[in-house]
């Protein structure tokens, strides 16, 4: 019988968990994934009915991602009736594929996947389907030939976020009487082929094309990280003169871009040389906006844990769930009462 030795981390955390639940496993005992879960079933028989959830998370590349992980770990706790097996893929799809296969071997009850990019999931989701394990996709989306390979998706309308950014820039430039001068724009893109990047780029492009005086000098992948965002912005500043606007597809790249702009002796924000549009609207970015460095923040809600838990509870009751579930979002700009907004922010 194929013995699957669970990762030491999982083994240790499960050992700790079992000991805390009173089931005693001899310290020296080497147990396999399926034996581990048999023990868990024994526990269940004693009424400790945990729903085992395997969550494959993209990585820890941004403030948004950290808030997302926190939301899932807080929600999928033992007090709430769950046992969470959490895997951080360090922004590599092959790690996510391994994690999902691991979850299947461990016969988890549900798989939650935040897919780093949209393609490459058909085979592994087919395996989950054959194993009878429902897959819930959260945040970013998967593009698969057979939509039945996942139960549902919950997350943001990234294209609307992008459109909202374009609409905001239109009205801002109108207010400033800058509707006939050339507006020179660069874009720091998120991880290429991630749903957030596809949507934000695509949504903004819809508005770009109706403004003849806007010039998109270049869009380049900054991988949603501060380091890469700074690197790309430094190169943009060397390559292009008179950049008027930076569209940055997440706050961490924005922080890097601000570093680069200021190092080049320029200023950004409402009173600066360069207009900064940023996505996520985490607390640190709202503070940077209050400090005058960013013009506008397009919110992206990372608190998906409770929504995914509601979905699982519905499925446990045999209820139908919507295939696509969008979270509500807004934007904040420097004209608003940022101190109050910052106080109220959860992330």
Q: By the criterion CB under 5 A, which residues form the site for Zn ion?
A: 163
Q: Which residue from 244, 280, 297, 299 is in contact with ligand GZL, where contact means CB under 6 A?
A: 280
Residue 40 binding: pick among Zn ion, ligand GZL, none (C-beta 5-8 Å cut-off by kind) = none
Taking the complex as a whole, the smallest distance from the CB of residue 41 to Zn ion amounts, in Å, to: 49
Q: Which residue from 109, 115, 140, 277 is in contact with ligand GZL, where contact means CB under 6 A?
A: 140
Three-state secondary structure string covering the chain? CCCCCCCHHHHHHHHHHHHHCCCCCCCCCCCCHHHHHHHHHHHHHCCCCCEEEEEEECCCCCHHHHHHHHHHHHHCCCCCCEEEEEEECCCCHHHHHHHHHHHHHCCCCEEEECCCCCCCCHHHHHHHHHCCCCEEEECCCCCCCCHHHCCEEEECCHHHHHHHHHHHHHHHHHHCCCCCCCEEEEEEECCCCCHHHHHHHHHHHHHHCCCCCEEEEEEEECCCCHHHHHHHHHHHHHHCCCCCEEEECCHHHHHHHHHHHHHCCCCECCCCCEEEEEEECCHHHHHHHHCCCCCEEEECCCCCHHHHHHHHHHHHCCCCCCCEEECCCCEEECCCCHHHHHHHCCC
Taking the complex as a whole, the smallest distance from the CB of residue 156 to Zn ion amounts, in Å, to: 13
Q: Quote the tokens at residue 110.
A: 């549900």
Residue 279 binding: pick among Zn ion, ligand GZL, none (C-beta 5-8 Å cut-off by kind) = ligand GZL
Closer to Zn ion at the Cβ: 331 or 347? 331
Residue 139 binding: pick among Zn ion, ligand GZL, none (C-beta 5-8 Å cut-off by kind) = ligand GZL
Considering only residues 152 to 211 of the shown chain, the ones binding ligand GZL according to CB under 6 A are 156, 196
The residue at minimum Cβ distance from Zn ion is 163
Residues in the chain: 347
Q: Is 139 in the site for ligand GZL (CB under 6 A)?
A: yes
Closer to ligand GZL at the Cβ: 83 or 224? 224
Considering only residues 32 to 91 of the shown chain, the ones binding ligand GZL according to CB under 6 A are 61-62, 64-65
Residue 156 binding: pick among ligand GZL, Zn ion, none (C-beta 5-8 Å cut-off by kind) = ligand GZL
Taking the complex as a whole, the smallest distance from the CB of residue 283 to Zn ion amounts, in Å, to: 25
Closer to ligand GZL at the Cβ: 178 or 220? 220
Q: Is 150 in the site for ligand GZL (CB under 6 A)?
A: no
Residue 163 binding: pick among Zn ion, ligand GZL, none (C-beta 5-8 Å cut-off by kind) = Zn ion
Q: Is 224 in the site for ligand GZL (CB under 6 A)?
A: yes
Binding site for ligand GZL (CB under 6 A): 61-62, 64-65, 139-140, 156, 196, 224, 250, 279-280, 300
């Amino acid at each position: 019988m194929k013995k699957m030795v669970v990762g030491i981390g999982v083994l240790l955390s499960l050992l700790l968990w079992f000991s805390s639940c009173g089931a005693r496993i001899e310290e020296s005992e080497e147990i396999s994934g399926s034996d581990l879960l048999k023990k868990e079933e024994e526990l269940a028989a004693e009424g400790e009915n945990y729903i085992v959830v395997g969550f494959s998370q993209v990585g820890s590349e941004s403030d948004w991602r950290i808030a997302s992980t926190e939301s899932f770990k807080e929600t999928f706790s033992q007090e709430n009736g769950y046992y969470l097996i959490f895997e951080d893929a360090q922004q590599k799809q092959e790690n996510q594929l391994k994690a999902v296969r691991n979850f299947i071997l461990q016969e988890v009850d549900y798989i939650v996947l935040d897919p780093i990019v949209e393609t490459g999931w058909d085979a592994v989701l087919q395996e989950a389907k054959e194993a009878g394990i429902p897959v819930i996709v959260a945040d970013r989306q998967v593009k698969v030939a057979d939509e039945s390979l996942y139960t549902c998706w919950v997350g943001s309308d990234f294209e609307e976020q992008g459109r909202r950014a374009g609409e905001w820039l239109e009205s801002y430039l109108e207010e400033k009487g800058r509707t006939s001068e050339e507006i020179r724009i660069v874009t720091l893109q998120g991880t290429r082929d991630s749903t957030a990047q596809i949507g934000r780029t695509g949504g903004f492009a819809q508005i770009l094309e109706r403004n003849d005086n806007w010039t998109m000098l270049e869009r380049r992948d900054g991988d949603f990280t501060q380091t890469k965002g700074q690197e790309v912005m430094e190169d943009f500043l060397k390559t292009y003169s008179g950049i008027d606007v930076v569209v940055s597809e997440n706050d961490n790249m924005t922080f890097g871009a601000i570093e680069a702009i200021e190092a080049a002796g320029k200023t950004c924000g409402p009173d600066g040389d360069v207009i900064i549009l940023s996505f996520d609207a985490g607390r640190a970015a709202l503070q940077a906006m209050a400090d005058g460095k960013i013009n506008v923040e397009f919110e992206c809600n990372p608190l998906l844990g409770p929504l995914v838990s509601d979905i699982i509870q519905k499925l446990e009751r045999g209820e139908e769930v919507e295939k696509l579930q969008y979270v509500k979002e807004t934007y904040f700009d420097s004209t608003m009462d940022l101190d109050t907004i910052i106080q109220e922010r959860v992330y």
